[in-house]
Amino acid sequence: MYLLPTLCFIFVILLQILACVSAEVRILTTEEKQLLLDEHNKARSEVVPKASNMKYMTWDATLAGEAVALARVCVNQHSNLQSKKYPRTGENLFASMNMKIDASWLKTAMRMFVEEKKDYNYEEDSCSLVCGHYTQVVWASSVKVGCGASICDSIDIFDQTWDNGQLLFCRYAPPGNYFRKKPYEAGEPCFDCELEETCRNNTCATAEDLKAVIEDDVEVVLKDEEKPGYDGRPDGKGRADGDEAADGDEAADGDEVADGDEGADGDEGVDGDEGADGDGGSAQSVLIQMSLLVANVLFAYLLM
């Protein structure tokens, strides 16, 4: 007699839980954050031609918290989020399918950003293809970075939806990719460092920079209108428009030196091995199976 209401209750709860796991924040470890930071500074130290004013980059917990909040929306589009700490920010995004978020995945994301180096002509300050991710990474005055990642049941990528996706969001301050401005000054490495700065792997670093530690992310809760792809709908999540993918500050022009994405998904989107599990897909699969099991029991009970 009491079995039917109990099963119905369990079924509803399972469906509610299932709806909540469409985006699972993958908290980056301190080691993974350090990896991302090191890859940024490595790229900055290896620019061609060499830079006379390249600043050493450090991790920022506020930018990281904002990036985490943006990544969990699962829309591969630049945001208009006003940072709680900085007047302006830049952004880089990377999306993939059927891959596991780990050190290898983070290196792949950074490789995709930095490989755009071959498409950037410093002398002409122009791109033969998309190169805005790279120019943001090596923008001399962008001294702070923070990144966040999420595992998504689906990711909105302009006119497509990717199932079992992974999304990396990186935020930078101050932003880069100003129109008609080169990312750095060419010259002898560290020639233009300030008096209080020392030369660290071809970058200018203060003593404070070199002592900086990676702190826990600052927790950030987004309003609907701050979410990427917001179109006024109550869920705060709309389809990402290719043209709306401008950087979160108007400095980015999406022309020659593109905003750190220029409407492209942060990859060109990498499709991983179909056999690779997307890290959080298994949890959702279990819930689906449990829901189907309860539904079958309900159906059998009703036929009795």
pLDDT, tens digit (0-9, with 9 covering 90-100), for 164-214:
999 999 999 999 999 999 999 999 999 999 999 999 999 999 999 999 999
Q: Is residue 302 part of a domain?
A: no
Using CA atoms, how far residue 185 sits from 54, 68, 234, 299, in Å, is 8, 32, 46, 70
Separation CA 119–CA 116 (nearest Å): 5
**pLDDT at residue 70, as a whole number:** 97
**pLDDT at residue 251, as a whole number:** 33
Q: Which range marks the domain in which residue 98 is found?
A: 22-211
The number of domains in the chain is 1
**pLDDT at residue 8, as a whole number:** 44
**pLDDT at residue 141, as a whole number:** 98
Average model confidence (pLDDT) across the chain: 79
Separation CA 132–CA 20 (nearest Å): 34
Cα dihedral across residues 64, 69, 71, 77: positive or negative: negative
Q: Is residue 29 part of a domain?
A: yes
Q: Is residue 135 part of a domain?
A: yes
Q: What is the DSSP pairing of strand 270-271 with strand 90-97?
A: parallel
18 pLDDT higher than 70: no
Q: Residues of the chain with pLDDT > 90: what percent? A: 63
Residue with tokens 């070199």: 210
Q: Is residue 225 part of a domain?
A: no
Cα dihedral across residues 223, 148, 163, 119: positive or negative: positive
User: What's the whole-number mean pLDDT along residues 90-114?
Assistant: 97
Separation CA 24–CA 98 (nearest Å): 14
pLDDT in tens, 142-153: 999 999 999 999
Task: Point out the least confidently predicted range of 36-40, 42-46, 102-106, 252-256.
Answer: 252-256
Q: What CATH number corresponds to the domain at position 178? A: 3.40.33.10
**pLDDT at residue 158, as a whole number:** 77
Q: Is residue 275 part of a domain?
A: no
**pLDDT at residue 304, as a whole number:** 55
pLDDT in tens, 205-251: 999 999 999 999 999 999 888 888 776 544 333 322 322 233 333 33
- pLDDT classification of 262: cutoffs 50, 70, 90: very low
15 pLDDT higher than 90: no
Separation CA 80–CA 127 (nearest Å): 25
137 pLDDT higher than 80: yes
Taking a C-beta distance cutoff of 8 angstroms, is the pair 287, 33 a contact? no
Q: Is residue 263 part of a domain?
A: no
Q: Is residue 58 part of a domain?
A: yes
Q: Is residue 261 part of a domain?
A: no
**35-74 core/surface letters (b: 16 or more CB in 10 A; e: else):** bbbebbbebbbebeebbbbbbbbbbbbbbbbbbbbbbbbb
User: What's the whole-number mean pLDDT along residues 91-118?
Assistant: 98
Cα-Cα-Cα-Cα torsion 273, 274, 278, 279, nearest 10 degrees, comes to: -80
Cα dihedral across residues 111, 112, 113, 116: positive or negative: positive
